[in-house]
């Protein structure tokens, strides 16, 4: 298959989106930008279309897909029941980086939900995504448009790196905004349970609903035989090729510890990388330093995380040491991805 790239140049967006929508209607695969990461879309109501997504990503078929909608009315065609508190969350955060999991209606094929009796639904805010869904006239099932296990794509170039020859077209809408996948909330129980943290933090959810919990799988590696509620959380995700180690502690102590480690490794001939910030970059003596963003603008760290991990994959780095980025609205989401990428390898400075 030849992958076509549709650049969304001004004035031609609508025509390109129409062509992409035809591909979706014909059962094909379209990668498209959203405000979180690029998605790999297909008709959510056709089992064979969803099967193509799993094949292109090399994704285990028990890992369900999110159905993307453009209008609230579409929710009630997919979800069998919607608690009042979930309506309030949708009122507050849709369109936007929030996914809600509901009991599913029969119209949603098992192939889209990985055999689960629930369906995850999100209404993205990105204009291109919204126009594509409307033009296709069906909900669009879309995981992140990366090969399974690689960092999610935040540019069309990242999508092409993983999906060239595997998808019909890529709608190139430039860089995404947020850079981390949506917050996923289980809406099948009495209170919201965060299955995956994202831009919408647990505090923001509590402000709307009063109470909310975070699923254990968000913060901890799972023990043998434990199953997370979001099947995707059990896989080692976002993994760079190099071994990634997170160093926690006070700023000075972290720098000193990383300097000690990189000096030791490089002396032994092992090329090292360092993930640091604008504020700390001058403090590192050796290793391949990459600035992930500024601590004064936490959203820059979220935005650049996957691009930095992908960049390391292209270089001959064997071990990467990263500062940690807890706290603030995005701390839980950033650290969730970073810890998974590190296989929970964390040392205290």
Which residues are near ligand TXA by CB under 6 A?
34, 36-37, 39, 63-66, 99, 101, 113, 116, 118-120, 122, 142-144, 181-182, 184, 195-196, 229-233
Residue 40 phi, psi (nearest 5): -115, 100
Helix-, strand-, coil-residue percentages of the chain, each rounded to 5: 35, 20, 45
Q: How far is the CB of 231 from ligand TXA (least distance, A)?
A: 4
Our CB check for ligand TXA shows the closer of 162 and 323 to be 162
Among 36, 144, 262, 317, binds Mg ion (CB under 5 A): 144
Other Cβ atoms closer than 10 A to 345: 11
Which window, 55-63, 71-79, 86-94, 144-152, contacts Mg ion (CB under 5 A)?
144-152
Q: 296 CB contacts (<8 Å, ≥6 apart)?
A: 278, 279
Q: How far is the CB of 294 from ligand TXA (least distance, A)?
A: 23
Helices (H), 83-174: 84-93, 110-113, 127-136, 156-163
Our CB check for ligand TXA shows the closer of 255 and 309 to be 309
Our CB check for ligand TXA shows the closer of 122 and 290 to be 122
Q: Please report whether residue 63 would count as binding Mg ion according to CB under 5 A.
A: no
**Calpha distance 339→49 (Å, rounded):** 32
Q: Which two tokens stand for residue 32?
A: 């498209």
Name which of 197, 218, 217 is nearest 329 in CA terms. 197
Q: How far is the CB of 47 from ligand TXA (least distance, A)?
A: 15
Is residue 235 within 8 Å of residue 62, measured between CB atoms?
Answer: no
The site partner of 139 among ligand TXA, Mg ion, none (C-beta below 5 to 8 Å per kind) is: none
Number of residues that bind Mg ion (CB under 5 A): 1
Our CB check for ligand TXA shows the closer of 212 and 319 to be 212
Which window, 8-16, 92-100, 140-148, 207-215, contacts Mg ion (CB under 5 A)?
140-148
Name which of 145, 166, 148 is nearest 157 in CA terms. 145
Q: How far is the CB of 237 from Mg ion (least distance, A)?
A: 7
The site partner of 337 among Mg ion, ligand TXA, none (C-beta below 5 to 8 Å per kind) is: none
Our CB check for ligand TXA shows the closer of 116 and 319 to be 116
**Calpha distance 306→237 (Å, rounded):** 11
Helices (H), 137-172: 156-163
The residues binding Mg ion (CB under 5 A) are: 144
């Amino acid at each position: 298959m030849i992958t076509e790239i549709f650049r969304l140049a001004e004035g031609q967006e609508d025509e390109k989106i129409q062509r992409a929508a035809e591909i979706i209607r014909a059962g094909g695969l379209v990668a498209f930008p959203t405000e979180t990461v690029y998605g790999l879309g297909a008709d959510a109501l056709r089992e064979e279309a969803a099967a193509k997504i799993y094949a292109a990503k090399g994704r285990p078929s028990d890992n369900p897909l999110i159905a993307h909608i453009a209008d609230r009315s579409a929710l009630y065609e997919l979800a069998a029941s919607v608690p009042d508190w979930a309506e309030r969350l949708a009122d507050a955060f849709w369109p936007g980086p929030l996914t809600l999991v509901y009991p599913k209606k029969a119209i949603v094929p098992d192939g889209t939900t990985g055999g689960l009796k629930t369906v995850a639904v999100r209404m993205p805010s990105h204009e291109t995504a919204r126009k594509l869904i409307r033009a296709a006239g069906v909900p669009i099932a879309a995981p992140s448009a990366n090969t399974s296990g690689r960092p999610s794509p935040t540019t069309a170039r990242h999508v092409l790196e993983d999906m060239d020859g595997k998808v019909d077209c890529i709608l190139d809408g430039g860089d995404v905004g947020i850079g981390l996948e949506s917050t996923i909330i289980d809406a099948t129980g009495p209170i919201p349970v965060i299955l995956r943290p994202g831009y919408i933090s647990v505090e923001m959810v509590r402000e709307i609903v009063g109470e909310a919990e975070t699923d254990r799988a968000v913060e901890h590696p799972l023990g043998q035989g434990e199953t997370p509620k979001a099947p995707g959380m059990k896989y080692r995700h976002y993994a760079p090729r190099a071994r990634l180690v997170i160093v926690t502690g006070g700023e000075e102590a972290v720098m000193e510890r990383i300097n000690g480690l990189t000096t030791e490794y490089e002396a032994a001939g092992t090329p090292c990388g360092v993930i640091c910030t604008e504020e700390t970059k001058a403090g590192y003596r050796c290793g391949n330093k990459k600035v992930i963003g500024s601590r004064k603008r936490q959203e820059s760290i979220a935005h650049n995380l996957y691009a930095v991990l992908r960049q390391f994959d292209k270089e001959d780095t064997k071990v990467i040491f990263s500062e940690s980025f807890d706290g603030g609205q995005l701390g839980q989401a950033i650290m969730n991805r970073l810890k998974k990428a590190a296989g929970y390898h964390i040392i205290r400075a």
